[in-house]
Structures are given as C-alpha cells and as structure tokens.
Amino acid sequence: MLRQDLATWQEQMARATGLSATSRIEYARDGESFVVWLEHGGFGGMAAGVTVQDIREYRDHLIAAGRAPATVNRALVSLSLFLTAAGRHADNPVRKVERVGVVARPPQALSHTAWNAVRRAAATLVCRDHGLALALVCLMRYAGPRVGEVAALRVPDARTSARRGVLVIRRGKGLKYREVPLVAEAREPLEEYLVHRRDLAQHWARKADTWDAPSPVWAAWPDGRLFLGQRGPLTERGIRTIVTKLGQAAKLDEPLSPHDLRHTFAKALLDPGAYGLTRPSVPVTTVQELLGHAALATTALYTRPSYADLARLMGEPLDTH
C-alpha cells in the first residue's frame, strides 16, 4: 500500500545525513498530505499506480486551497523524491507536471515619504555620530553602491568639490570598476562627515602613540578607509546595523536594509515621477552601468511597477510629503 511506501521513505530520510531536520519534516509532511488526499479520493494502490493526472490534480488542489507558489512547488519536489524512493525512477510522474510559475517581484524601493523619514532620522544623530549615518544613507540612496562596496571604500574613492563629485568603486561585483557621479544630496553630507574623518585620523594616531605602536593604516588620512566606527573600519554588518536602526527610528512598516536604499536609487532614476521629480527618466542601460549589473535583465526588474506605482499611474494622489 502507498502508506507503507510513505513510511519506508520517511525512515530512509531519517537516516540520511545530507538533509536538515527542517527539510525532513517538510518533505514528510508533503508526502503525508498527498497520501491523505489520494485516500480521500478513493485511491488504494501502490506508488506504481500514481499517475501524472493524480499529480496534476493534486497541484491544482493546492493552488485552489490558496497555497503559495513556493509551497506548491516544494510539494512537487517532495513528491518527486517520494516516488523515486518508492521505485519510480524512470517513469516518475512528477517530472511531467509543470511547476507553478512565479513572476519576480520588483525590487523593494522606499517611497518618497519613507526616504524622507529615514533621512530625518539620520539627521537627528549628527550631533552624536558627526554625520556618519547621514553620509552613509545618502551615499547609498543617491549613488547606489552595494553594502560590500561601501565597506571597502577608501577616502580617495570619494572625490568631491564645490560643484561636482564622483564615487569610485574599484572592486565591484565581478571585480568590475565603475564611477558614479555624486549629486549634491550625497556630496554635501559626505563632505561634512569628511571633516570628522580627518579628525579621526589624528585620534587614532594619538592612540597609537600611547600604545607605542604604529598608527593603523585603515585610519590614515587621506588614504585610509572612508567610514570608521568606534573600533575601526565599518564592516558590512556594522553598516546593516546602522541602516536597520534608522529604519526603526523612521517607523517604517518593513525592516530597512542597505539594498533597499540601492533599489531606491535605481527606482528614482527610472521613475522620477514617483519621487515628485519632473526630469525625464534615465535610460535603463545607463542605470545598469551605474549599478554595476552584468546583465540588463537584472536592471530591468526595476522597471516593473509595484502596486503603489500602478495606483499612482491610475490616478491616485502622488505621495510627495
């Protein structure tokens, strides 16, 4: 009977060393649910009697029950493993059943209101952190570097002057070099932080003298790391922590990540109207270059409208507060 095949498979999984406990539980639960569904339909045979139609109807049953696409597709994976273990190696019916297609969600970007709340939260910290948080989030929002790229920045990589600036990413993803213009919204908070960054170089030099040790290279001016925390260069984890806390202070509905700021940078270039801007959108190929994407398809995800975008385009009031 199919129940016996299921029990045997579950015992095999319990002895398998390559599966996590969570995976074993999920696979076993999927197999159990399938067998129960078949039994309710009057099935009383062995694994050899399970047909492609059985699998297809069970998939449709899960969809009708409101299961998420990922849950339905995982169930199909579980059933494929189950039937293979039960001897259906060459004629596994699950292989002939189409998975549920999932349309990729557009990358999550902050609304105009949400970004302003984050910026204000960072601005309230200037007296305590000398503009570190504000410079960080404005750089990610208006230049779009990845969090790892931000952590690797050195002082000479952020070139600023009164009217222009450029951010140099020397080792982007795939070891690609790129330059991103620094607009005033990113440049001005960064210049204010750099005043403090110069003082930090002297601070660490004095500490080194006290310890009778050489001054740390990462603290040197003007060649050291750009963003320093209390104990040394900011790591990716440290940057994430700062950004997350700012999201909490801004009372956002969802946790804030550095990648959300990168998404917002891209979104504002491709859809300026979402941020109350009247300038034309930037060509997607240019945004691809600025983000350092290897494939245009990755950048194209940013052009897909979110629910809020659709509502705005269909006449809802524009959020510009």
Q: Which of the following is catalytic: 88, 119, 141, 146? A: 146
Phi then psi for residue 177, to 5 deg, are -90, 140
For the question of residue 176 being annotated catalytic, the response is no
What is residue 17's DSSP assignment?
S
18: amino acid identity, one letter? G
- Please give the structure tokens belonging to residue 168: 């140099």
What class does CATH assign to 2-96? mainly alpha
Tally: H helices and E strands in the chain: 14, 3
Q: Domain 112-313: give its CATH code.
A: 1.10.443.10
For the question of residue 196 being annotated catalytic, the response is no
Nearest by Cα to 217 from 159, 167, 158, 155:
155
- Residue 192 CA, chain-centre distance (Å), reads 29
Up-side HSE of residue 200: CA atoms within 13 Å toward CB? 27
Nearest by Cα to 226 from 256, 196, 181:
196
Up-side HSE of residue 10: CA atoms within 13 Å toward CB? 15
State pLDDT tens for residues 165-188.
999 999 898 889 999 999 999 999
CA distances from 305 to 32, 57, 143, 211, 319 (A): 39, 33, 22, 56, 16
Phi then psi for residue 22, to 5 deg, are -65, -45
What lies within 8 Å, CB to CB, of 118 at 6+ separation is 110, 137, 246, 247, 250, 252, 256
CA distances from 303 to 54, 144, 287 (A): 39, 16, 11
Q: Which of the following is catalytic: 141, 197, 240, 262? A: 262
For the question of residue 262 being annotated catalytic, the response is yes
The reported pTM is: 0.68
CA distances from 238 to 41, 109, 193, 224, 318 (A): 55, 21, 17, 18, 35
pLDDT at 320: 43
Q: Which of the following is catalytic: 119, 267, 293, 312? A: 293
Question: Where, residue-wise, is CATH 1.10.443.10 in the chain?
Answer: 112-313
Q: Which of the following is catalytic: 173, 176, 203, 237? A: 173
Q: Which residues pair with 233 in a beta bridge?
A: 228
Cα–Cα distance for residue pair 25/160, rounded to 1 Å: 56
pLDDT at 23: 85
Q: Which helix (H) or strand (E) holds 284?
A: helix 284-291
CB 306 within 8 A of CB 274: no
- Residue 314 CA, chain-centre distance (Å), reads 28
Question: Where, residue-wise, is CATH 1.10.150.130 in the chain?
Answer: 2-96
pLDDT at 22: 84
For the question of residue 99 being annotated catalytic, the response is no
pLDDT at 117: 98
Q: Is 144 exposed, middle or buried (0-12, 13-18, 19+ CB in 10 A)?
A: buried
For the question of residue 96 being annotated catalytic, the response is no
pLDDT one digit per residue (tens) for the chain, 321 residues: 789 999 999 998 888 767 788 888 999 999 999 999 999 999 988 999 999 999 999 999 999 999 999 899 999 999 999 999 999 999 999 999 999 987 666 678 999 999 999 999 999 999 999 999 999 999 999 999 999 999 999 999 999 988 899 999 998 988 899 999 999 999 999 999 999 999 999 999 999 999 999 999 999 999 999 999 989 999 999 999 999 999 999 999 999 999 999 999 999 999 898 888 889 999 999 999 999 999 888 888 887 766 666 665 666 554 544
For the question of residue 293 being annotated catalytic, the response is yes
State pLDDT tens for residues 283-294.
999 999 999 999
pLDDT at 300: 85
Cα–Cα distance for residue pair 157/220, rounded to 1 Å: 14
State pLDDT tens for residues 130-169.
999 999 999 999 999 999 999 999 999 999 988 899 999 9
